[in-house]
Structure 1
Amino acid sequence: MSHKLDARTAFFLTMPPLLWAGNAVVGRLVNGLVPPVTLNLLRWLIAALILLPLAPWVLRRGSGLLSNWRRFALLGLLGVGCYNALQYMALKTSTPLNVTLVASSMPLWMLALGTLFFGARVTLAQVLGALLSMAGVLVVLSRGTWAHLLELRLVAGDLYMLAATLAWAWYSWLLSRRAEPERLRADWAAFLLAQVLYGLVWSSAFTAAEWSLTDAHIQWGTPLILALLYVAVGPAVLAYRSWGLGIERAGPALAGFFSNLTPLFAAVLSAAFLGELPHLYHAVAFGLIVAGIVVSSRR
């Protein structure tokens, strides 16, 4: 596996944070229209319908879908069933500011899981890169004034986001280990569809629990339909494809640093929706986050 950071790799790893930033904004906007776990299920149902015509052979006997069921069941649980469901739950019970702060710990969890369970070696450059990158996130969250950080209060939703971050870090490391037939791995639509099919089983079970334990309801309408189309096509299919390519080229540890671009993109998108111009601290944060990526990529 190559661990070189070139322009194409940087593009692959930058697209997911941009799309996920939009996912956080949309998830917050439809908060009162659909339950969070149900939103995750609907999102992946649409994604499966998009992927199925691209790789129908996955459903045939001998494709590797059944013989590798343990691996795809775990990938589906972490990447499809848990990650976004927990994120949507966090957005329902916590503030976007807190959720973004918790998610900014991604590089540290990537390094920790890689060292403990995947035999990765943590370098000084990676540690320094993590510190620089998280400093950039803190600049965004503080809006250039450290007093804003003192106003943060942790709630139950922050624990959901912590669990989501851990799930995504584990999922990313598993992606870096090839344990399925090469034909299945080489076809990106087939590889993602295999994860989604098992993930839908998990998501359906979680959604059934949500509807039986809570007062769940859906308010159908144009806003919800448009939101579902976006989160299925962008943050799901396109982002997961780009993330997988980025991990193949750069490795999970370096890819984790790019996830810290998400709060920066979220701040810019929020500013665009609110009609506010970006501030100087956005540029400072961008410089710190990019510096963290560059430093961590050095051998």
Structure 2
Amino acid sequence: MTSARLTPATAALLTLPPLLWAGNAVVGRMVADLVPPVTLNFLRWVLAFAILLPLGGWVLRPGSGLMRHWRRFALLGLLGVGLYNALQYLALHTSTALNVTLVGSSMPLWMMGLGRLFFGASVTRAQLLGALLSMVGVAVVLSRGDWAQLARLRLVPGDVYMLLATIGWAWYSWLLAQRAEPDRLRADWAGFLLAQVVFGLGWSALMTAGEWALTDARIQWGWPLAAALLFVAVGPAVLAYRCWGLGVQRAGPTVAGFFGNLTPLFAAVMSTLFLGEAPRLYHALAFALIVAGILVSARR
């Protein structure tokens, strides 16, 4: 796919999703005491399903191709809908929104590693250098700027959860690149997402049942939680997917990838405004290293 000229309208389309994804991390942190993390993910996608149903409900009809490829969509639903968001919300219980988004920015490292190991993708020297810079950036985040912490292997649990979520999302992204479903299903963004959500809700329901059975889970209903659920369902779960898809079609995936790494910057600003988690010097260093790694690895 060739990239087109980056117009202001396309730039706006590609800027909105990182803003919403950063807001997702901040809101998840804000309601951490109101709803269990896995339950939050389940409720979020229940609302997203209700929103997507009128737009892509045709995918649930016989002959759409969904059931013929149910194994593929079951795996996509597990990785993209079930595990990733549940692990992210779980990470926000013990880590900050800024750290979670910075660790998530290590995505190019895991994308390259999984591609090389399991999908036959080649790795260049520039990509290796970029991966090294990204790895150092993640290490800065995990150590909180204190290298002695790495020697003691004292990691915040939330950082580990987010690393697992990021690896899962990288696997999910590679699977998305494998075109195995009918063109009609792939072309309809609402139907394609709904096909994943259908199976993802099943996985999420099982994990939510386990959360309620094994923990002292409880929900504090009220307008703050209702507003948060509405935001994470409409914004990060539906609107961001739509804008990102349009932006990638217009500018190409390479250019779009750079916009994705605006998420930590937006999260830093939002955390300062809403959570009182002011960015520190090591956050800036980590962000610079991760972005430098992406830029180096993207060079031809």
Give yes or no for TM over 0.5.
yes
Paired residues for 1:158-237 under 5 Å:
158-237=159-238
**Cα distance in 2 between the residues matched to 1:158 and 1:277:** 18
Q: Are the counterparts in 1 of residues 21 and 263 from structure 2 also a CA contact under 8 Å?
A: yes
Per-residue Cα deviation, 1:226-252 (whole angstroms, up to 9, x for no partner): 10011111111122334556677326x
Tell me the C-alpha RMSD between the 2 structures: 3.3
Compute the TM-score of the two structures, normalised by the length of structure 2: 0.83
The aligned residue for residue 156 of structure 1 is: 157
Between the aligned partners of 1:23 and 1:192, the Cα distance in structure 2 is 18
1:256–1:161 CA distance, 2 compared to 1 (3 A): farther
SS in 2 for 1:178: coil
User: Which is further off, 274-283 or 236-245?
Assistant: 274-283
Secondary structure (helix, strand or coil) at the match of 2:265 reads helix
Find the aligned partners of 2:191 and 2:131 in 1 and give their Cα distance. 33
Counterpart Cα distance in 1 of 2:75 and 2:266: 30
Give the corresponding residue for 1:264: 265
Structure 1 match to 2:6: 7
Of stretches 254-263 and 266-275 in structure 1, the one that deviates more from structure 2 is 254-263
Q: 1:127 Cα deviation (Å)?
A: 3.1
**Which residue is 1:52 aligned to?**
53
Q: In structure 2, what is the Cα distance between the partners aligned to 1:208 and 1:39?
A: 12
Deviations along 1:201-221, whole A, 9 cap, x unmatched? 101111111111111111111
2:65 alignment counterpart: 64
In structure 2, do the counterparts of structure 1 residues 114 and 291 end up closer, same or farther at CA, with 3 Å as the change threshold?
A: same
Distance in 1 (CA, whole Å) between partners of 2:45 and 2:81 is 7
> How many Å apart are 1:262 and its aligned residue?
2.2
| Identity %, equivalent residues | 73
Unmatched segments (≥5 aa) in structure 2: none
Tell me the distance in 1 between the aligned counterparts of 2:39 and 2:111.
28
Identify if the C-alpha distance between structure 1 residues 12 and 119 changes in structure 2 by more than 3 Å, giving closer, same or farther. farther
Question: Does 1:107 pair with 2:103?
Answer: no
SS in 1 for 2:67: coil
Contact 2:110 2:170 in 1 (8 A): yes
* Residue-by-residue CA offset, 1:164-203 (whole Å, 9 max, x unaligned): 1111000111111111000000000000000001100101
Q: Post-superposition shift, 1:64? A: 1.0
8 Å contact kept, 1:137–1:264: no
Shift of residue 257, structure 1, vs aligned partner: 6.0
- Report the TM-score when normalising by structure 1: 0.83
Corresponding residue SS for 1:7: coil
SS at match of 1:41: helix
Determine the structure 2 residue equivalent to 1:117: 118
1:45-81 C-alpha deviation (Å, 9 max, x unpaired): 1111111111121111000111110010000000001
In the TM superposition, what is the alpha-carbon distance from 1:10 to its structure 2 partner? 6.3
Aligned length: 293
Aligned residue number for residue 250 of structure 1: 253
